[in-house]
Structure 1
Amino acid sequence: MSAAGRTALVTGAGGGIGAAIVRRLVADGMRVRATDVRPADGVDLPAGAEYVPFDLLAGDPQELLAGWDSLDHLVNAAGVALFDDDGSFLETSEQVWETTLGVNLHALRRLTAAAVPLVRNGRGRSIVHVASTAGVRGMDAPLDAYQVSKAAVVSLSRSLALQLGPEGIRCNTVCPGAVLTPMIDFLYERAPERRLDMESRTPLRRLGLPDDIAGAVAFLLSDDAAFVTATDLVVDGGWTAQIK
């Protein structure tokens, strides 16, 4: 995939999908700067990944980019879903909206805008945002702040792809379905029947794993996807392809 020696910045790298992406890119030979709000002693990443604790909501994106005059790849994997507080827009608090859109959309937007000048100088020139199937389809129970934030990421990614395409910069999203990560594990522990139901409704009859998403991200970053941009790659085991 021509990844050896390239540089990548990955957000949301403290666990789950973000950490899996870092592991995959390091295994592919990239030099990865990984970031998350967690302190360094709470993060397990492979040798070869530089970890920078950082608050995407409060920090200056230039701090994450310090020391680089070029960047080959940017992966925005940071995200939050406030399951116990999010719901219908008719009932969800302003704080939930501000936090969810702040992390999932506005922080992503600020970092991407700061990184684009470096990506222009890079070799890979590929940006991937981790969105969600919730951003392209409805959900059984409303999680409106989360859904709106991810739909906005999908829309912004397409706009960026069209604007940056003439410069040779590609921009795509990966839209995971139900993936076993720390963010949702507690839901299945609380209601095991929920996991069984989701598995039975998924054509591949299993939930996704972080490595499934990491593989999709690695492909979209790679030269194998050199003619792929403005695309939303759904990775959900076939769940959203059916009518139920």
Structure 2
Amino acid sequence: MNGTALVTGAGGGIGLAVTHALQARGVQVTAADLKPVPESLAGLDGVHYHRVDLTDADELSGLVALVGDRLDHLVNAAGVAWFDRDGSALDLPEEVWARTMSINFDVTRRLTVALLPALRAGRGRSIVHVASVAGLRGMDSPLDAYQVSKAAVISLSRSLAIQLGPDGVRSNTVCPGSILTPMVAPLYEASPARRADMEARTPLRRIGSPEEVAEAICFLLSEAASFITGTDLVVDGGWTAQVK
């Protein structure tokens, strides 16, 4: 692939896996997250890690300035799901709703818009937003702030694909199912029965890995997907293919 990429949420989980996958393909990666630099990225050739609070307008602008005038690929992987605080929109605390929407959707929109001049000048001109199957389907137990934020990302991506297509800029989402990320792992550690139930409900009978999602993202960024835009690639082991 080569070229340059910006990956948000690179401090762990899917964002970290994407950063490694792109670096292995020869891409120069600007990696951003609020978390400290992961050990596996420290000193890694071709990766420049920055601690940034993307909900802060000045810090977001500073990151955009670091990227420069040309950018080939953008991966919006930053996101949160607060399983202990999120729930039904009928009685959800306003601060949980607002903060989730800010991190999962508003940051995605603001950063993408700010980077459009650099993406238009780039060679790959490809964007992948990490959404979720929760943005496509309801959940047994509602996490409405998370679900709505991811549905909004999916809708935004489709709109961007239509508007930016004439400029040759592609916009797609990846919608992971149950993936063993640092955000989800504690739930399964606390309840092995919950993990067993999810595995049993997934046709491939297992939980996915961040690396598997990263490979899907790299495909959508690559020239192999040069005629793919406005799509939502589901990476869920077949979970959403079922009617239950």
Query: Which category of TM-score, normalised to the shorter sequence, fits these structures?
Result: over 0.9
Shift of 1:59: 3.8
Q: Could you give the per-residue CA deviations for residues 64-106 of structure 1, whole angstroms, max 9, x where no partner exists?
A: 1224111000000000001001001112100100110000000
Please tell me whether residue 49 in structure 1 is matched to residue 57 in structure 2. no
Q: How many residues align?
A: 240
Amino acid at match of 1:47: D
Residue 165 of structure 1 corresponds to which residue in structure 2?
A: 165
In structure 2, stretches of 5+ residues that fail to align are: none
Amino acid at match of 1:33: T
Amino acid at match of 2:233: L
SS in 2 for 1:70: coil
Q: Could you give the per-residue CA deviations for residues 38-70 of structure 1, whole angstroms, max 9, x where no partner exists?
A: 133x55324321001100111432211224111
Structure 2: distance between partners of 1:91 and 1:190: 26
Structure 2: distance between partners of 1:53 and 1:229: 30
Amino acid at match of 1:54: V
Q: Could you give the per-residue CA deviations for residues 15-45 of structure 1, whole angstroms, max 9, x where no partner exists?
A: 11000000000001100000000133x5532
Structure 2: distance between partners of 1:59 and 1:186: 31
TM norm structure 1: 0.96
Residue 192 of structure 2 corresponds to which residue in structure 1?
A: 192
SS in 2 for 1:173: strand
Structure 2: distance between partners of 1:32 and 1:96: 31
Residue 233 of structure 1 corresponds to which residue in structure 2?
A: 233
Residue 183 of structure 1 corresponds to which residue in structure 2?
A: 183
Name the stretch that deviates more: 222-231 or 58-67: 58-67
**RMSD of Structure 2 on Structure 1 (CA):** 1.0
Q: Percent identity?
A: 62
Q: 1:10 aligns with which of 1, 4, 7?
A: 7
Deviation >3 Å, runs of 4+: none
Structure 2: distance between partners of 1:62 and 1:43: 26
Structure 1: distance between partners of 2:29 and 2:18: 10
Residue 56 of structure 2 corresponds to which residue in structure 1?
A: 58
Residue 37 of structure 1 corresponds to which residue in structure 2?
A: 34
SS in 2 for 1:35: strand
- Identify if the C-alpha distance between structure 1 residues 37 and 198 changes in structure 2 by more than 3 Å, giving closer, same or farther: same
Please tell me whether residue 132 in structure 1 is matched to residue 128 in structure 2. no
Structure 2: distance between partners of 1:107 and 1:125: 19
TM norm structure 2: 0.96
- Trace 1:136-147 onto structure 2 (pairs within 5 A): 136-147=136-147
Please tell me whether residue 22 in structure 1 is matched to residue 15 in structure 2. no
Shift of 1:202: 0.5
SS in 1 for 2:184: helix
